[in-house]
Amino acid sequence: MPSRSACFFLFLSAIFGSWVIACGQKSNQPIKVAAFNIKGFGRAKMTNGVTAGFIQDIVGRYDIILIQEVRDTTGFALNKLWAGLNRTDSWGLTVSGLVGRTNYKEQYAFFYRTKKIKVTGSFQYDDKLNDLFEREPFAIEIEYNSAKRSSKSRVVLLALHTKPQDTIQELKSLPQAMRAVYGGFKRAKGIIALGDLNADCSYLSNAMKKQMEIFQSDGDFVSIIPDTEDTTVAAGTNCAYDRAIILGQDVKVSDAGPYRFDSELGLDVETAQTISDHYPIAFNLQGFIDKTVITVTRGTYKITDTEMSLQRSFSLLLLFAVCSMSEVAGLAPPLKVSAFNIQTFGKTKMSNDTIANYIINITSRYDIVVIQEVRDSTFFALNKLWAGLNLTGPWGLTLSEPLGRTSYKEQYAFFYRTPKVTIRGTFQYNDSALDVFEREPFAVEVEYYSVAKLANNRIALQALHTKPTDTVQELQALPNAMRAANASFPNAKGIIAMGDMNADCSYLSSSNRKQLEIFQNGTGFTSVIPDTFDTTSTAGTDCAYDRAIILGQGVVVSGAATYRFNDQLRLDVDTTLAISDHYPIEFNLY
């Protein structure tokens, strides 16, 4: 994770009489982009540990990758892949809604490295009027460092998996869809449609291909996967089904082609086909992480290692303005952390635009927030919240698996501002032996800039939503769960467990609370939400259900409170309860 200021060294040369500021020097690298149709991507495939491991290895080769044929109503497969990727780096995920005319539906899923890429918007193409696409294209706008300019650049990636027998009409309609989507992202420099277009062999003849606008050499579009490539795994086939089509002269790519994972990983035919019947197609999107040296000599400056050369009069005051003095001095604000039980957070709640906007407004107050009671098998609610948050700045999302003993399951969701927070790892507490927890605690290791240490720091945040009737035994077991999570992150300076612990009123009496290790003095644990707080938004209740418990002397917090959104936003009772029956708890992390 980069420091709060990219500028880390200031040198005055007495010999040359010049100032040199070296700012955030990193390697010059392209963005690795891929599209992978993982046949029948769902629980059955990702339950196989060998297959899941190979899929994770393949996906992890790239900086951003589109997965197609996602058939994962429980979220198990997506979450397992996501959790595996996050053990190696900080990854984000953006998922489309379910698309398809019949009961058979698929989703498009974009996984991406949050340190290299920001998703700045998403768009589901609306094809209801003409109904030309079986699975309507889904687009995201990404921001990355451009090689052409020493600044951020944006491009749109548009996902499409055509219906084989409708390939011709869908590909004839693709140019119109690409132009329509591209026109909606005003800052994007171009658009790339990618995926399994079924654009070869029996589904699209050479004669028909020549009539397609996207394949004509003298038009606006460029197809970067040649007809001669074979994107299929099956022996005896030689078909370039998977393609990437560019619209926009500012989009520069190189090294396009399939990744033949069977030969690269030494897999036999049977193992290869349990992964997929398609190879990923991949290419390099030309970009770089800026390396800038500013040299000031006799009142002028120039910027080298970029394509800019500026000669202007330059004062010492402006020199220091290049590197924000408040950041160099470590005067950045502390991290704002929150836990929010959004009662039954799912599609119904987020389909109400008024309620959805309030939830986005509340969540965006923080730098990292754990949402509980996530009941969102289609990802509709998570994606809508995520898209709304990304209008305020770049956000990442890390999600637990669905948890619960019965068919009723919930997930924990950590949303975080990627410029301020990096997720270094995840830990799902294993409670299968004792089965104390209804929804086992889920932890993330976060790295952030500590304004107390004036350096980067790591701690663990652990989410817990107890079962009300089992509160006493779950909170008795929480210290062991916190120690286990903390031990799994050797670089973490401590851990904070937080969430709706039902730690008051009828679920936890004062006498029982005094017997719990997490609430006792001298045990190493600190509860930062006092018993006197009311964390419920329901009139007539006064219960401190939601808590934050610290373990570790390296954790420094202040300003613990509840955010009474009904008072702050002047909401009536019905609107308040439509949002949640809990207030967010919050604190500052130093």
Catalytic residues: 410, 465
Calculate ∠ Cα 225-231-234, nearest 5°.
165
Nearest to 41 by CA among 85, 75, 88, 65: 75
Query: Parallel, antiparallel, or unpaired for β 421-428 and 585-589?
Result: unpaired
Q: What tokens does 195 get?
A: 């995926």
Q: What tokens does 102 get?
A: 């019949």
Please tell me the number of Cα atoms within 13 Å of 325 on its side-chain side: 6
Residue type at position 109: A
Q: CA-CA distance, 363 to 365, in Å (whole number)?
A: 5
Q: CA-CA distance, 366 to 96, in Å (whole number)?
A: 25
Nearest to 510 by CA among 539, 544, 480, 461: 544
Question: Are 431 and 419 within 8 A, CB to CB?
Answer: no
> Hey, what's the torsion of the CAs at 205, 211, 213, 215, to 10 degrees?
50
Torsion over CA: 20, 24, 28, 30 (sign) = negative
Instruction: Give the burial class of 15: count Cβ atoms within 10 A of its Cβ; 0-12 exposed, 13-18 middle, 19 or more buried.
Output: exposed
Nearest to 311 by CA among 298, 292, 330: 298
Instruction: Reduce the secondary structure of 176-217 to three states and give it as a string.
Output: HHHHHHHHHCCCCCCEEEEEECCCCHHHCCHHHHCCCHHHCC
